[in-house]
């Protein structure tokens, strides 16, 4: 395991974490919007 492959692994983990975080906020926003529209 050299430095380059370690960097690639860290970048992949970071990208996955970023996608998961964005997905979490998109779902939370969609649920809030759905409840807001339904309550009208």
User: Domain residues of the chain, as ranges?
Assistant: 1-40
The pLDDT score that the predictor gives to residue 40 is 81
Per-residue burial over 1-39, b if 16 or more Cβ lie within 10 Å, else e, is: eeeeeeeeeeeeeeeeeeeeeeeeeeeeeeeeeeeeeee
The pLDDT score that the predictor gives to residue 3 is 85
Note the pLDDT tens digit of each residue in 1-40.
688 999 999 999 999 999 999 999 999 999 999 999 999 8
């Amino acid at each position: 395991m050299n430095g380059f492959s370690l960097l690639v692994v860290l970048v992949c983990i970071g990208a996955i974490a970023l996608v998961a975080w964005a997905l979490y906020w998109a779902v939370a926003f969609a649920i809030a919007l759905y409840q807001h529209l339904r309550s009208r």
